[in-house]
Structure 1
Amino acid sequence: MHHVAFIVYPGFELLDVSGPASVFNGANRALRQRRKPAFYKVVLASAQGGAVESSSGIALETRPIADLRPDEAQTLLVAGAEREPLLPAMADPALRATLPALAGKAERFGSVCSGGFVLAALGLLDGRRVATHWDACKPLAEAFPKISVDPEALYVVDGALWTSAGVTTGIDMALAMITHDLDASIAGEVAKRLVLYARRPGYQSQFSPVLQAQAKGDSPFAELIGWMQTNLDAALDVPSLAARAGLSERTFHRKFVAATGETPARFVEILRLDAARLLLSRGGSLKSVAAQVGLFPPARLAEAFERRFGVAPRLFRDMHAEL
């Protein structure tokens, strides 16, 4: 079996552990349904062992990290937390004495959310590209200038190092691990079982324009944005959108910028390119994708895609298309 060891400490974020652990358990369930043996075994460890209370007040029973053998930490992941619990974890003598050796012998190691600070404090992230929670990107980069922090990615794989962004992205990273260890169909079954909206690739941005718009509870355009998402091939110019919103073009433009922080044209392009990126990762042809997202002909899609992502859509598809 492949052992996944989660390292926790007082005040850790429970979902950083329970989310990925549920994914690995889901993979075992899917394997059993195929009459195959379970593959993953989850291990919980902390500096001293025993019950460790999370930030939500729920405690998990753990083993002392010093007792972990390398074969019990083939995948080694450090959970994240808010700043106050992180600081003592970064300085904990037991973690500092044991984590480097375990990480060095692990098949892969990394962190969920802000757990990367613990690894960074040990020099384990120097010269590496990493992801962390959007709110921790600047502090991590400033505190550890030898690290390249990707402020947008949901998760980053840099050799044996796997790091994820905020909280629920640990689930996305765990699904990617299953795809790597087993196959994409198992990961798909787990995602379906967990009723996930979608399996999100690591390159997807933490900053969804729709999510940011929804975060403003008084946004007058929530319904319109939902319609835009499902009608990307429609005319989404300012006159059409203003008419649908029942506003004059000037008033619509002003209120839309105030509500979303983006001009209507920029917002529409972001929606279309994000959708195109997802469709390309599923192996869609440029012609089909361009038509579906309203960036036809394909040359128009290619120009906008390369301008935003720095790579041609055809090359992106070849690099990321699901097998």
Structure 2
Amino acid sequence: MDQRRIAFVLFDGFQSLDLFGPYEVFQHAHRLTGGYDCRIAAPRPGPVRSASGLSVHAPYGVADLDPETIDTVVVAGGDGVDEARHDPALTEWIAATGVSARRVASVCSGVFLLAAAGLLEGRKVTTHWAREQQLMREHPEVVVDCDPIFLRDGRVWTSAGVTAGMDLALALVEDDLGREVAHATAQEMVLFLRRPGTQSQFSVPLWSAQPATDPIRAVVSAIHADPGARHGVAELASHAGLSPRHLQRRFAAELGVGPAAYVEGVRIEAAKRALAESEHPVETIARRYGFGTAETLRRAFHRHLGVAPSDYRDRFRSTREYM
């Protein structure tokens, strides 16, 4: 098998996991197939200090790597990107590589380097949600969507922060070597579930605000304890000891969304786990988690994730099936 050369680009102040996560994905895939030649490069060869203080030795300066030999360039993010994107030698190399390489990818705020290199005009990209407004403000030529954890627009792949870089790398491996190799890589790395790019950065368990008072805390606990139970406003109000109208007002004030939207989000997360981890029919999962029918679940999945439940299961089921 011909090896594909993957160039990982660092700079002082990079986020270490933006390198280590994707790098390990490609290295594990390489051990399985022999398909990759991974190179780490920085503006100059030598030690590169990460934002956390951890130093990584870059064997190559970017000038040492011929852009014509690069299959895929992966640019890390990190606080140091705000300075690195003003390094003309670095951005010129990324621009040249972006023209000749088959693919260009960024993790988190590494997208700012791709934009500085002129590679993103008219492209749809994502980045960490905390950088969304800055990217939109400084690069109006780019279409920014910070809901997905990663996006592909032609040859350009971009992702949200940290662990999303591993999801991106697994998708790149699948693009190169097929689904079975990507799953086997995830299994070897003990990655429990390969997340779809369409999964929101703002999934309910991770990103919703936390309730500030005991009544709303009781409501949230009841929803998570049994997502499929009856969770109408009247039932939730009884958990809180509040009137339905008072509950709706307090809930929205403390969590930023209304009770119905929160319940649906929790139910979707529960259904996603069930689809990925079990063989239960879609109809059974729909009833168990409060959707009633498979059609209602399908509409909810399309609205939130852009895929049908059956497609989600086929593409992103647990890697345990390969054990």
Fold agreement, TM-score > 0.5: yes
Does 1:201 find its partner at 2:208?
A: no
**Unaligned residue ranges in structure 1 (runs of 5+):** 32-36
Q: What is the rounded CA distance, in whole Å, between the counterparts of 1:118 and 1:154 in structure 2?
A: 18
TM-score, structure 2 normalization: 0.82
Q: What is the rounded CA distance, in whole Å, between the counterparts of 1:75 and 1:226 in structure 2?
A: 45
Q: What is the rounded CA distance, in whole Å, between the counterparts of 2:187 and 2:235 in structure 1?
A: 36
SS in 1 for 2:11: coil
**Unaligned residue ranges in structure 2 (runs of 5+):** 317-323
Structure 2 residue aligned with 1:161, among 156, 159, 162? 156
1:73 equivalent in structure 2: 70
Give a deviation string over 1:111-156, Cα, whole Å, max 9, x none: 1000111110121000111111101111111111111111201000
Query: CA separation of 1:20/1:217 partners in 2, compared to 1, >3 Å: closer, same or farther?
Result: farther
Is 226-235 or 65-74 further displaced after alignment? 226-235
SS in 2 for 1:196: coil
1:52 equivalent in structure 2: 48
1:272 equivalent in structure 2: 267
Output aligned runs, 1:53-132, within 5 Å. 53-62=49-58, 63-70=60-67, 72-82=69-79, 85-132=80-127
Letter in structure 2 aligned against 1:204 = Q
Q: What is the rounded CA distance, in whole Å, between the counterparts of 2:275 and 2:39 in structure 1?
A: 37
Q: Quote the offset at 1:235 in angstroms.
A: 1.9
Q: Is the 8 A contact 1:119 1:125 kept in 2?
A: yes
Give a deviation string over 1:30-54, Cα, whole Å, max 9, x none: x2xxxxx422232111112211111
Structure 1 residue aligned with 2:142, among 147, 151, 166? 147
Letter in structure 1 aligned against 2:294 = P
Identity %: 36
Q: Is the 8 A contact 2:193 2:276 kept in 1?
A: no
Q: Quote the offset at 1:159 in angstroms.
A: 1.2
Q: Is the 8 A contact 1:126 1:146 kept in 2?
A: yes
Q: What is the rounded CA distance, in whole Å, between the counterparts of 2:241 and 2:23 in structure 1?
A: 48
Query: CA separation of 1:129/1:56 partners in 2, compared to 1, >3 Å: closer, same or farther?
Result: same
Query: CA separation of 1:322/1:300 partners in 2, compared to 1, >3 Å: closer, same or farther?
Result: closer
Size of the aligned set, in residue pairs, is: 310
Does 1:187 find its partner at 2:187?
A: no
Query: CA separation of 1:226/1:322 partners in 2, compared to 1, >3 Å: closer, same or farther?
Result: farther
Q: What is the rounded CA distance, in whole Å, between the counterparts of 1:48 and 1:275 in structure 2?
A: 47
Query: CA separation of 1:204/1:265 partners in 2, compared to 1, >3 Å: closer, same or farther?
Result: same
Give a deviation string over 1:218-237, Cα, whole Å, max 9, x none: 67567865664563332222
Query: CA separation of 1:177/1:295 partners in 2, compared to 1, >3 Å: closer, same or farther?
Result: same
Q: Is the 8 A contact 2:282 2:310 kept in 1?
A: no
SS in 2 for 1:126: coil
- Cα RMSD, aligned residues only: 3.1
TM-score, structure 1 normalization: 0.82
2:315 equivalent in structure 1: 322
Q: What is the rounded CA distance, in whole Å, between the counterparts of 1:147 and 1:257 in structure 2?
A: 33
SS in 2 for 1:189: helix
